[in-house]
Amino acid sequence: MPILEKEQFENLAKFDNNPCISIFIPTERAGKDVLEEKDKINLKSQWKKVSKELKDMGLGQDKIDKIGKPLEDLLSDKNFWRHQSDGLAIFLADGFFEKFTVPVKFESFTYVADHFYLKPLVPMFNGDGRFYLLWLQLDNVKLYEATQFTVGEVEIQDLIPSQLEDRVGYDYEQKNSKSKTQKSNVGANPGGTSTQHGYDAANRDQKNEIGRFFRAVDKGIYEILHNEKVPLVIACQDYLFPLYKDVSRYKNLYHKVVPGNPEADYDGMLDLHSAALDVLEPHFSEDMDSKMKEFKELNPERTSSKVTDILPAIYEGKVDTLFLQNHEDIWGNYNENMASVDVHDERRNGSLSLMNLAATKVIDQGGKVYLIESQFMPDKNSKMNAVFRY
């Protein structure tokens, strides 16, 4: 299932038809809700709501059925519903159908107009958020290249040993078993001294062997990453991370680990990717935090919280960063020729989403758009804040 690319986003933003239908639903990756097909039930419910709106607009049932035919096919595709992420975005028009499974959590939402509604997707276009994820175990090593919205395995078998025994020899397991036996005998010896010393020596040998293995792993990883400047986050048990950190030459090794055994504690690559994103969240927030600080510290002429000022500035190419209150909207109309904004108190016939208009235009111009919860907006008295380029 395709991840939405920026070119596709821009094509959707330019699509012009009447009606254009946008449907967003939250989805589940696995579990009871998937088995009970709650995502399918939700989509049916949203389409029922859209069908009523289309009927109220004067469309005949045959035309509605024609537009909705791809949805009927999708609802019967059992394999599709078993492989979901966090959200599903669907775009429909007469003769047009696109769907995108994305790791963005949506609220259920529908929008019918002469253009598509893309605001919920803007988190995907604030830089790709690239990073590497190293699955590090003594019996298995894997490397993933990822963004905040994608993940894929990198082929490394020809560059690194796949397990500790391949690097230090097959006597490792025997020696490791011996050290465990010695540890269990501590206290059995009345003096305790020689047995304890034997265990300490074996423990040092084990750490040295793990260190040799990790140096071999680092050699291969460094060959791939030496020109990179993105984070490398490690997924391993806590006790292994300091040992790898000691030998790693990669300057952007992330300081926090994805905890636990990657194989035993996570349900596959997507679950591990999600855990890595949680660990890296402070890193990905740095740009947004910096822009919020700019908003508060810049000369007032370089910022605005008035939609009547921000929209004309967007069309002049002046907006560098746009903050929009999440799960909210501003309804109205914009006259590009007059550079005038008409804001409506609520959605009415002929209203369009001024937030959607603003977001798609800023992304098209290469700016940043952040969806922010109300309590974190730079200016909490407005649903739309902007930082200007000049």
241-278 pLDDT per residue, tens: 999 999 999 999 999 999 999 989 998 888 899 999 99
Domain stop point among 124, 139, 157? 124
For residue 105, being part of any structural domain is answered with: yes
Residue 186: pLDDT above 50? Answer: no
**Residue 15 parent element (H or E):** none
- The answer to whether residue 326 sits within a structural domain is yes
Q: Do 169 and 269 share a domain, yes or no? A: yes
Could you tell me if residue 163 is inside a domain? yes
> Does residue 290 sit in the same domain as residue 358?
yes
Q: Is there a domain that residue 195 lies in?
A: no
Residues 336 and 262 placed together within one structural domain of the fold: no
Q: Are residues 17 and 66 in the same domain?
A: yes
Q: Which of 250, 265, 284 is the last residue of a domain?
A: 284
Count: domains in the chain: 3
> pLDDT by residue (tens digit) across 51-73?
999 999 999 999 999 999 999 99
Confidence of residue 188 (pLDDT cuts 50, 70, 90): very low
Mark which of 249, 284, 319 sits at the end of a domain.
284
Q: Which residues contact 364 (CB under 8 A, 6 or more apart)?
A: 10, 13
Are 161 and 277 in a shared domain? yes
17, 36: one domain: yes
280 in any annotated domain:
yes
CATH of the domain at 380: 3.30.1330.30
Kindly report the CATH number assigned to the domain that includes residue 139.
3.30.420
Do 120 and 166 lie in one domain? The reply is no
**81 and 14, same structural domain?**
yes
Query: What's the CATH number where 27 sits?
Result: 3.30.960.10
What is the tens place of the pLDDT at every residue in 107-157?
999 999 999 999 999 888 876 688 999 999 999 999 999 988 888 899 898
| 202 domain-assigned | no
Q: What value does the mean pLDDT take over residues 335-364?
A: 94
Pair (250, 335) in one structural domain: no
Distances (CA, A) of 194 to 176, 179, 197, 205: 18, 13, 5, 16
Q: Give the residue numbers spanning the domain of 80.
A: 6-124
- Whether 260 and 380 share a structural domain: no
> Does residue 115 sit in the same domain as residue 11?
yes
Please check whether residues 294 and 319 belong to one and the same domain. Answer: yes
Q: Is residue 370 part of a domain?
A: yes
Residue 251 has phi, psi (to 5 degrees) of -70, -20
Number of H helices, E strands in the chain: 14, 16
Domain contains 200: no
- What band does 83 get if pLDDT is binned at 50, 70 and 90? confident
**Pairing of the two strands 368-372 and 319-325:** parallel
Residue pair 388/147 in contact by the 8 Å Cβ criterion:
no
